[in-house]
Structure 1
Amino acid sequence: MKQNDSTQEKALKVKRFVSYLLPAIIFALALWTLDKQMHHLRLSYVLESIAGIPLSHIGIAIGLTFLSYAVLTGYDYLAARHINQALPYKQAATTSFISKSISHTAGFNFLTGSSLRYRLYSGYGLSLSQVWEIIVFSVSTFWVGFCFIAGLLFTFYPVKLSNYTPAIPIPLNVVGILLLLLVAAYFYLSFRRRDLEVRGYKIRIPEPKIALLQLALSSGDYLIPGSIIYLLLPSNPQLTLLHVLVFFMLAQLIGLISTVPGGLVVFETAMLFMLEPYFGTVDILRPLVLFRLIYYFVPFLLGFLALIFHEFEEKKEFLKKAGKLTYSSLSEITPQVFSIVIFFGGISLLFSGALPSNPRYLHEITYMVPLPLIEASRLFGSIIGVLLLLLANGLWKRIDGAYVLSLIVLLLGGGFALLKDFDYHEAAVLFTMSVLLFPSRKHFYRKSSLLHQSFSRENIIAITLVLVSFVWLGFFSYRNVEYSNELWWQFGVNSQASSFLRAVVGVFFLLLVLGVMKMLSPFSKDIHLPGAEELELAKTIVRESKEPLGNLAFTGDKYLLFDDKKKAFLMYGVSGKSWIAMGDPVGQSDRIKELIWDFYEMSKLHQGRAVFYEISEKHIPIYLDLGLTLIKIGEEAKVPLESFTLEGSAGKDFRYAVKNVEKKGYWFEIIRPEDVIALIPELKQVSDAWLEMKTGKEKGFSVGFFDEKYLSNFPLAIVRNEEEIVAFTNIWTGAGAEEFSIDLMRYKSSAPAMDYLFVKLILWGKENGYKRFSLGMAPLSGLEKRQFAPLWHKVGSLIFANGDYIYNYKGLRAYKEKFNPIWSPKYIALPTGFKKSLALKDIAALISGMKDLF
């Protein structure tokens, strides 16, 4: 079994490595092919050619792009009609534009677009299943149009690929007929009102009217972008619009298969290769570059700004509802905005180091700056560019060290930009970045190590693509310089090719050093179950905490994560890929924020996902900073002891319960911790009887279990008569007599009503000066059941109202309510999207003690 697990783990690691590396390899091959096609061109000539395109053509291209994205918004609006959801066009269009414009450029279309759709549609009240139906409908719309247009073009206007690829003769008319047959099959299912089942998942085929609208929209989705490229190409009588559409569809398909973000360079290389018989290289590059800019980059920026505005509004409203008025929505996105800006600053410095400098500026700089300083500025300018790419990740995660280093590096980068070739434009941008970043210190509060930060798959791919582009751009810029070993040792104002070669070595040497340091530097948080010394340290922190939940750490079944100063700790367990923290961190409040971030970072370093279970409202802004979503799981009941009394009409039921039990010869008693061990055999009989009565087994993680060492840490409240103990519970106490609670409650069938134990506990707490008594949580209590409440609230409230055969939800709430408690909400903070369901499954497995089965 262990060997199979090890084999599967190795296979997953190989698969993950290939998924990281493959897009970069395809991108590099496409760049190499593009370089071979462009080796005879000068960059200045390409730029001048682009500048020569008539403004009228550019204006028409922009208009067609607007029309194309307007057509794309119809995908989601039509999907909403298909699932019988009355969604306003404005909401559907906004969601469609944001998801399409970003996923087109960012790549990983299904993952990126689906995540954005779920994030936006869930805010409009749509359930996960409804969002999934919209996603499936949009994907099917995309392929219906592709199969129809490509089928027609390949069948009735076949282009012989043997004219372009002699080694791969493919009869496109056969492919076209197959594609048209797929469309026919789709409409057959639509007219017959039949559903399609794929790998056990049923896809509901739309009615014929909607299917025809699908076909019309998706056909326009392909015809309009292809027409933009045709419009921007020079006139050639041998090349028709139908030719260009065929080439466009083939290039788009190749770009999609490559998984390179937005098909960048892969799409351009394929188009360049197929259009080469008709035009010169510059004539092909000009429309492709403009198409990339107009159709992808500009909508991406607009979509990104729209997403930021939407998130700004959503989080601002949420924070107001949560009562956290001190947190502005701007603070939520400030680190992310600076992270993106700094990343682009790094790209600017790298590309600047790969391109030749303006000769006029070089001539002027030689009179003011000595040659060694110019050479050093060229080298360190590129190195600083790489540092900015890496620091962007730290800024995103609000690390204070990344903030300080970014300020220093931006100032140095601006200085080097002036010294290497007096590039005052670039220097002004970098200096402006540092000025804007300087007053934002409060948003970067994490005291984490930069070496220990994790990088996401998308982040690694983005950095890799930038570095590959940097190397290619340099070799392309200096392709006319004949290589020789002496180039490495040539120094001079005009020896820019030599400076570039040294910069490449410097950049990759820096990455190598940082990589080795990261591998050799162990993470500072050791992962193991706590020993006696750590439990003693936790006990010291718990004694100073006003809330008693920290006592749960003494079960010994959870890992403990301490802050650097050992003033706070967090308890957690691991189930599947989920790292699940139990409750809020315990200890000094000024250490909590960093501790939560440490736990989140540690889970990422181990390829896991961070989850926070049974948390309160106090630290909601931190969990939002982590990018987690919150779902309410119930409410905790806390009895204010000052107002509790047995006197008067309000206390008559409690008076009767106490007198009735004590008449039968039972009494209440508090056992000191040091006297618990002597009672263990008798207590075990009570516990075993309770487990047998409940036909269950001991649970863990979120509750205590019967264990001699665990129980000996606390005072016990027992109910007994002359012959035996019939009930007991251990008492958790908080510092300063603020609050106390109970955990493990066990009783025999012969025990009197449990009201007696609770009433006597409350009276004991009141006599000892405690202010509150926690009765624990009522699961699924307090969930909204309004029309536009989230899906979780609707399902939870339904189970709460009708799920008595599963668990006595209403009865538990009603029982605790008679003690007149104050109710406070409890949440789970967990990842968004499809990882949410996986995290919930892991929590259930961990609590039930079945984590090893998953």
Structure 2
Amino acid sequence: MKTIIQWIKDRLGYLKTLFIFSVVIIVIRELLSISKTISTAQLAEIFRTIGFGKIAAMLVIGLISVLPMVGYDIILNRILKQKQKKAFLLETSWMINTINNIAGFGGLVSIGLRSEFYGTKKDGKSVVKALSKILIFLMSGLSIYSLFAFLLVVLGHTNNYLEQYWIWLIGGGLYFPAIMLLSFIRKDEYIGDIDNKTRIQLVLTSFLEWTGVLGSFLVIGFLMDIPMNPLQIIPLFIAASVIGIVSMIPGELGSFDIMMLIGLSALGIKREIGVAWILLYRLFYYIVPFIIGVIFFLKNLSHGLNQRYSGIPRELMTELAHKVAVFLMYFSGIMIILSATIPSAFTQVKWLEKINPLSFHILTQLPAILLGFLLLITGRGIAAKVKRAYWPTLALLTITLAYTFLKDFSWGVLVFLSLLLLIMIFSKKELFREQLVYSWEMVTVDGGIFILLTVLYIVIGVYNLPTFPHHKHHFISFFLFPSEKIWFSGFVGILLVTLFSYLFIRYLEGNRYRIGIPLNSQRVQKLLDTYGGNSDSQLIFLNDKDMYIYTDNTGEDTVLLQFKTLNNKCLVMGNPSGKKEDFAAAIEQFLAETDRYGYIPVFYEVSEEFAMFLHEFGYDFIKMGEEAHGDLVNFTLSGKKMKSERAVMNRFTKAGYQFEVLTPPFSADLLAELKLVSDEWLGSRREKGFSLGFFSEQYLQKGPLALAKDAEGKLAAFANIMPTYTKNEGTIDLMRYRKNVPSGVMDYLFVSLFTYMQEEGFTYFNLGMAPLANVGTSKKSFIQERIAYLVYEFGSRFYSFQGLREYKEKYAAEWIPRYTLYSRDSFIAYVMIALLLVDNAPIEQQPKVHGIRRILRNRYQR
């Protein structure tokens, strides 16, 4: 015996799993059996005749009737001396009791489930003791009602047919006094040690449970306006329940239904009415509460899995639910519009009829068009994960559900819309964004769908005009409309939806919040002087970009990002600047804030190390080119390779040219002379910004100037030396010269700068980017990079990509790849367009770039 007990203990986990699995199989089997007894067509007809108000009352009564069973679980946990959270207790109790209602087996299933959910923190023996007390009193309420029903039979309140069941009623009635007597006589730990308070509470709970069961059946009958005598229905119902429980058939299915139908017929109630009565009772007392119980079960299951796997399962399920909800809303909207546009197609084309979940026909043209397009519009808000879209979407789905229920009842449609509503509720946590930024990608998708559906509707309207010669054209028959009036009502619907779309998008946008703040030179300069920067850091002082500063726990600024916002894209220029140890935290904070407000960062010309870091956040990347680095440590003009550079230096030295480096502040006269050289160099071209410097006196005052002057002391060329806030890297930004100076002046300036920076202790000189250099040269490269390679090969007529690389090749000792990273939620084509617009916009147009996509309004706040 001890060996058997030990064997059971060793395999207790497997046995519990087997038990749960068995319950699931039993429940599924019984649900399938119940579904065979439910006719959707019959339910539809019943719902049409009864009315929405009475159906709602039946639903409420059914849910209320289940509540008394929570008392069992309250008493059980009190016996076990453990406190549960009220929400957990209610959800678990509801789940256990509704599953038990379906599975049956005289309450044994509920005992097993209670042991699994409440007994994990207690030893097995104490759990068995507590459960045994619950088990023996589960049927005490039915027994009391059996005694009452027996009295009704004896006192002659029933007909001759019901009198034959007196034996079952007396048998069921004897159970209550028997277990009461047993609980007083027995002195063991399982039944005999129940205190009077617990005994009364258990009996009262059971009595209220069976009052709910019987009451729900009677109330449903009253709401159906069935002429009946409750004093005759009660004995029949109780006897049928006793027989069903004794048989231990799950859900009392079969024996209860057959006995009730025969008994109701004997009482003068028509068979079809009796079937409808039982059908509604099954639906509102068993099925609907069970569905809610399944939802609670999935919630508890997900909670357990989340605790075990660090919340990942819930995140995945919530995200999946969100994607399913978006798909279903768009799909439903399109199907509704098509069913209103070409209704005959859904009867003539079988595959269309099968894939249409909303195949109802009573919807008139105007409501159908409205509902379809409104589902698409609200679907956009849900797809964009905007908080504000949640309640309007729930309201729309509820209205659609109610409209379908009242006007054209369809069981499949009700299930579909109810499921969509539940998925929406479940995916609420995915809606975290504070506003909608209506991106080019969204406009493309939504505009394509709207235009396609609207054009289709208009084309069909033209085809249905009386003047259109149908007889001369072979055309699809289901394009024919019943009347012009019906078509016109749908067209009015499209116009109304257009207005609503405008208003709803404005509502979702809210008061547009913009990421970042304008340049604060003092804060930036302090951060760069303290923690350092890179070759792009100085570009922030062009004042054509916003800045995002990360502040650590001590309140000190440690990391700087510079970017420009276009549409929904925050185009970040280069790597972050500042304290490298805080880069990860700064990027996470920046990504979280942009995501919260509906923006998508794009990181432009970043290093390979930073690209790999961002790739962990789900970013794709494309190589944008290579950056040329000249070796200053080993730089020399000697050797065969530098023969031409030596010749240039000798030629300009003999001509009396001089090189000098000046530090700020610069005089107004010098700045005026620099402006003349810059304007001459620009000619008819216009200044550009973002990733390139432009002539700005304020900007030039931020760093040293390298000047090349002729023998007369006249300025021939200049370059501004960009502070990189590092000890190793030297670089320049603007490099401009007069047109009438000898050729080679730029080489003279470059070589002079190399020598100067070598003396200053820099290890390499950053010659800047060669765009699209070595991009997409492999057949295995990304398709985006292969396209970029074609641009590199054949785009020299517009921009000398190859010439720029060949020029820098003379001085480059190493080529460092640079990348652009973009979110997978973006279309790469729109990312490149945004970069092209920002990076190539003339500087006088830079302030206007923010508002290039202001379809609705131009209102920002920070």
Whether TM exceeds 0.5 here: the answer is: no
TM-score, normalised by the number of residues in structure 2? 0.44
Instruction: Please say which structure displays the higher CA radius of gyration.
Output: 2
TM-score, normalised by the number of residues in structure 1? 0.45
